[in-house]
Each structure stands twice: as C-alpha cells, then as structure tokens.
Amino acid sequence: MKNAIVGQSGGPTSVINASLAGVFEAAHERGAEHVYGMVHGIKGLLEERYIDMSEKLHGALDIELLKRTPSSYLGSCRYKLPEVDAPDAKPVYEKIMALLKKLNIGYFFYIGGNDSMDTINKLAMYGKQVGSDIRFIGVPKTIDNDLCVTDHTPGYGSAAKYIGTVMKEIIRDATVYGTNYVTIVEIMGRNAGWLTAAAALAKSEDCEGVDMICLPEVPFNVDRFVEKVKRMQAQKASVVIAVSEGVKLEDGRYVCELADDVHAVDAFGHKALTGTARFLANTVARALNTKTRSIELSTLQRCAGHLTSRTDITEAYQVGGAAVKAAFEGHTGEMVAIKRLSNAPYQCTTELHPISEVANLEKKVPLEWVNADHTQMLPAFIEYALPLIQAELTPIYVSGLPHHIYLDDRKL
C-alpha cells in the first residue's frame, strides 16, 4: 500500500487543522501505513523537512486537540513553484518526485487557497507529463472565501463569526460617551470583500450594526467617503465603519498606498496591505474636526480558535476526508468543493472540480448583494453567511486558558 503526504500552505485559519485531522484519519482508515506531514509546505518538502504524523499524534485526544488548535500545525509557506515548462523547472520537480518516491507516496494532499491550488495544479501537470501514478488533490481553506467553484471555504465561517462578534463589541464601546467619534475597522481582504461583508452580521435586535461597509469590489473615492461620513455624523454622533484592507482607487492603487508606507511583496507578487484604516481615520479627522480611531483586526480574525464555528470546523474535517476518498478512488488534479443544497435547513455536500478551475482565480462578492450606495449588505448576503457561523466548539481549557497542540520544528 502506498503512503500519503499532506501539507498546509498560505495564511492559516482557526480550522485548517481540522482538515489536516480529516486527511490523517481518513488515509489511515483506507490503509495508508504512513501519513507524512510536510513541515512548512512544499518549501519544507524541498528541504527534506517532513514528519511521520503517527509519531506525533497519539490517540483520540491528540486528534481532538488538533481539530481545536488554530493556525497551521505543520507550519506554512508562501512558495511559488516554477512553471512546469520553465527552463529551470525540471530540477525542482525531479527533486520533489524523487522525495515522494523515496517515501513511497501515492497520495499527495495540499490544504490551502488560490496559490496552494496553483501548486497542486503544477504538480499534477508534471506528474501527468512523467507518467506518475501519484494522486494530487487540493483541500480548500481560506478565510478570504475567494476560491472559485466552492460555495464557501472552510475557515471563512469562523472568521466571519469573529468579525461579527467583534464588531458588535466595538459598536457598544464606541457609543459610551455620546460624543462625536468615527471608528474605522480594517478587515482582511485583498481583492474580495467577503470578510468585510461579514461585519453586516453584527446588526441584530440587540445591535444597530455598522454604519458603512467598504468592499474592494467597489472603486473607492476618498472625497466621497469623507462626505458620506459627514452626512452620517449629522444623524448620529458615533459612526462605525468596516473597511477592507484592499479597497482601491479608480486608478487601481490601493488606498493604503496613499499613506506612503513601505509595502513589501511576497513570492506571488502580492503587496503587503496595511494602514488603510489609519489613513482614512486621519483623513476624516482633518476634514471633519472629529475624534477618530482606527482598528486593525489583522491576524486576530484568522486565529481566534475560541470563536470557532462548529459548522465550519465540521466542514473542514469533512473536506479533508473527502479529499482522501477522491485520491484513493483514482482522482488527481482536482480540488474538493462544498456544494450548498439548501439554507433552511442548511445542508451541504462535497464535489470535485478540476484544479484549473480554481488555481490563480478569485471569487468576488456579488454586487447584487450590496445596496445601491455601496454602504451595506443586502439580505441575500445575510442568508448566505448566517448558516456558516452557527454553533460553537468550546476549546479544551487547562488552567483557565485554551489548550493547544503544536509541533516544535526546532527539534526536527
């Protein structure tokens, strides 16, 4: 029987380890003697850094801890494989295939988002070229929820739950003094505004909700933004706004670039985005002579394991198992996707799609889910997002704090 290997890549989530647990358990149940884990993804594999996960996970309690531990247990990377037909590509792919042969790998799983699916796509293409029988399957994850073909991605529901919760708390805090105050909250989202849209979940019978939501799907105009804030503050003293870190001007520049901050670029050419809320808060303060505050949720929105959605963690585990089932049944070069069957009651199943339909593509928030003046989400979005944040999975507490399992790669 062939062995399996699994890696985690890109930005972590609070439920990515549930997918890892799903792959690990399902592969063992289907007869894989060894399930290896790449330490820091494909980059770590190229450095021959991997573990036998059976030597690290001992019994049901470790699996349960793994499912409830946020971030990537195996470590992650942002490493771009060369194009398969590039002049310098052959040695890289030959090394990967040699390592997989050495470990007797028949099944390769990669848990990640757009860029990770690019890795699976390239490996499957190369494997086909050289006649390899290894099955390459993508397991979806990303808090950004921007993967095509899947209704939603594991990781998004928990991040949305965190954002909705935190926005309610910020709104309550922002109103205590009754004085003029503008609070601008910066939420992750480079080109797709799914996370920022989740701020709309704060509105309920016990909360008036945010006053404005700014998505990257809608071209941003700083002067119009200030004018909207002015009109809102004429109606109420405290204004709370959710803005995506990736909002762009009509000329394509990110708003955060107006702050003249230095923005590094990663291996995939993505600029590091930060400072949008700070720039806008300073701009509003100068223009309207009002107190302002900027808040960046930053990595908190992706690692808040104490606010994990039970729906989310269950689906994350299920897509891991579905990926193993697909690989053991002979599929390769595909990604597991979630297909929604109904909202009431909420029901989903899994299906497979070619990686080529996913890699390097982005799913945007439908503009028909945004109101006419681009400040609020419409009921269609709430109906879409609300089932994904339902129920809770309480962490395992030790000495009053959540208990996690982690891999100390310094000892490897």
Pairing of strands 401-402, 397-398: antiparallel
Token digits for 110? 């990669």
Best CA proximity match to 5, nearest among 30, 26, 34: 34
Token digits for 197? 């849209």
Task: Output phi, psi for 212, to 5 deg.
Answer: -155, 145
Best CA proximity match to 8, nearest among 120, 96, 89: 120
Pairing of strands 135-140, 334-343: parallel
Rounded CA-CA distance 96/7 in Å is 13
Rounded CA-CA distance 56/68 in Å is 16
Task: Supply the angle between the helices 222-235 and 276-288 in degrees, to the nearest 10.
Answer: 60
Peptide bond into 345 cis (omega under 30): yes
Token digits for 357? 């339909």
Rounded CA-CA distance 152/110 in Å is 18
Q: What is the DSSP letter of 412?
A: -
Q: Are 39 and 7 in contact (CB under 8 A)?
A: no
The full 3-state SS of 362-401, as one line of letters, equals: CCCCCHHHECCCCCCECHHHHHHHHHHHCCECCCCEECCE
Q: Ramachandran region of residue 293, left (φ > 0), alpha (ψ -120 to 50) or beta?
A: beta
Active site (catalytic) residues: 144
